[in-house]
Amino acid sequence: MADGKGLSLNGVAELAAIRGDMPAERLRTLREVVSGRIVFTTSFGIEDQAIAHFIFEGRLDIEVVTLDTGRLFPSTYKVWAATEDRYGARIRSYHPDQSALAAHVADAGVNGFYYSKQARTGCCTVRKVEPLGRALAGASAWVTGLRADQSGQRAAVDLASWDADRQLIKAAPLFDWTRSQVADFCAAEGVPVNELHAQGFLSIGCEPCTRALKPGEPERAGRWWWESDEAKECGLHVGADGKLVRKVAA
């Protein structure tokens, strides 16, 4: 079994039992077969908003949390508030460690990420990856908004896989949906979405690291646009082996 480090026979059975034609069913079976905490990390992008809708409307026992980097767009905070109002819920935030962030800024500068990929990945590590580790501590499963057609780097995304580095099940209930399917669903259900999506920001992260797309550009081209590397990621979905997604077949 490839990349199955730490995966028990019970874990194999759990992976096999996560199924469904629709995201709501996929999330429900995930909750039914996985014991312990399940955490959904939202960045309030359109995919995450659809998943939050399924979780809140289905009253699923799945924690909804976000990584507040301190450099998000004002419109992202507006969507955060609108989501809590729409569903009568509270979304817990995880923030960068103050000492680590101060040390990073002192070393790289407040906007040093523009001048060095090492500084950029260091910023992402402090603001996102380390807080994610705290958010997922003790969790049995992690729900993400990954879609297979978001980029060539993400084409291997499957419904459920074993994250050997974090020792948990990683689920992507929208893995086989297109962006237009997600947008149509959110419009039909009145799901709050970030106003920047209508302005050409298809993938939204931190404000200084995100721009609107130019005509014909792929969905994630507006993220860290000054870097030439096609496989641009912040580190949340990249393991120690440098690969974005590891699939495990039962």
Q: Which residues are catalytic?
A: 234
Helix residue ranges per DSSP H, 125-171: 130-136
**C-alpha span between 155 and 160 (Å, rounded):** 14
Helix residue ranges per DSSP H, the chain: 9-17, 23-33, 46-57, 74-87, 98-108, 117-124, 130-136, 179-189
Report whether 93 contacts 66 (CB < 8 A). Answer: yes
> Tokens 């962030």 belong to which residue?
101
Nearest to 165 by CA among 197, 132, 189: 132
Report whether 62 contacts 206 (CB < 8 A). Answer: no
Beta-sheet strand order (sheet of 160-163):
92-94, 63-67, 38-42, 141-143, 168-171, 160-163
